[in-house]
Amino acid sequence: MRRIVPIAIFLLTLFVDPFVRAQGLVDGFMRGQRKASLALTYSQESFDRYYVGTREIRDPNLGTVSTQSLNLYATYGLGYDLDLIVNAPYVRTEASAGYWPKQEGFQDLTAALRWEAYDYKFGKTRLSWLFALGYSLPLQNYVIDAPVTIGHGSRNLDGRTMLHFKAGAFFLTGQYGYIRRGAVSLDRVANYYQPDNLNPNSGSKVNVPDVTDIVVRSGFSTKYFYVDGWWQQQSPYSKGTDIAPGIPYPTNAVGFTRAGASLYMPLIRKFGLTGAYSTTLDGRNVGKSTRLSGGFIIGL
């Protein structure tokens, strides 16, 4: 049962909101050779205020933007030091005011490899150094330039390094990641974002800004329960735009600081329930959202 606990960690921090998808598919706990698990969670988040650049505003013509998502997450131990992780969310988002139509469908398919490069043991304490490489691509052609979009629509390459410390039930994990985002094709190009060499009357490609990602997580993991608290900061790395005039665009530079907590409780052998809460503390071109999640995890 103890090996199932880590699956809840980053699964419950995967944000899918109208302006950004926070990354965080991997943690510091290895799955184990030829061991598999499957997790299914439901998440609901909403916001009625968002950041235009770094200025917080409320738009009565948008009202409250609500997002619901069903996340399927699977992991398999290819070896004692190598895991394969796959995630696919189904997302629905809508605004309570205005004329923006509801968006619904599968978002992006993400696959990642996690490698434990070094593992140092000092009595009952353990320090691990891990690396991860992930790739994601859209599962369908969804709208990407509206307040109720379900994602960026770009193909992304995500590289991360992690230090994971564990002493008895206590653990502390820190990770740094860089997300390289590809260009996206648009049916229309807004004049205020458009380079001079693009034709406003035809479809064009624009760049989605890259980001860096820092996550710190600490808590307790036992065979009876798992609980943690985490802090995440995502910052634009490449040059981007700000929301203007009031409509998000794929070229917006998105950043945020978020914090939250998650809990896992085993019920029977290889089966348990998870729950999580998180909130946006500040940001740039992102909704000031609050999120609740819950689901179950099965060890295979």
Read off the CATH number of the domain in which 32 is found: 2.40.160.40
Backbone angles phi, psi at 249, to 5 degrees: -145, 150
Sign of the Cα torsion 115, 182, 50, 42 reads: negative
What does DSSP assign to residue 208? P
What is the structure's pLDDT at 246?
57
Cα 170 from chain centroid (whole Å): 24
What is the structure's pLDDT at 198?
40
Residue 269 has pLDDT above 90, yes or no: no
Task: Assess contact for 153 and 145: CB atoms under 8 A.
Answer: no
Q: Is residue 1 part of a domain?
A: no
- Residue in 237, 259, 252 with CA at minimum distance from that of residue 51: 252
- Domain coverage including residue 242: 7-299
Domain count for the chain, please give it: 1
Q: What is the DSSP string of 222-277?
A: -SS-EEEEEEEEEEE-S--B---SS---TTB--EEEEEEEEEEEEEETTEEEEEEE
What is the structure's pLDDT at 44?
95
What is the structure's pLDDT at 195?
47
Q: Is residue 236 part of a domain?
A: yes
Q: Which has the minimum average pLDDT: 14-23, 25-34, 140-149, 274-283?
A: 14-23
What is the structure's pLDDT at 300?
83
Q: Is residue 18 part of a domain?
A: yes
Q: Is residue 133 part of a domain?
A: yes
Tell me what the mean pLDDT of segment 42-69 comes to.
92
Q: Is residue 209 part of a domain?
A: yes
Tell me what the mean pLDDT of segment 257-277 comes to.
93
Q: Which has the minimum average pLDDT: 130-134, 198-202, 286-290?
A: 198-202
Residue 127 has pLDDT above 70, yes or no: yes
Q: Is residue 2 part of a domain?
A: no
Amino acid at 75: T
Tell me what the mean pLDDT of segment 102-130 comes to.
94
pLDDT band of residue 151 (cuts 50, 70, 90) is: confident
pLDDT band of residue 119 (cuts 50, 70, 90) is: very high
Q: How far apart are CA 115 and CA 196, in angstroms?
A: 44
Task: Assess contact for 152 and 181: CB atoms under 8 A.
Answer: yes
- Residue in 72, 74, 80, 150 with CA at minimum distance from that of residue 115: 80
Q: What is the pTM of this model?
A: 0.85
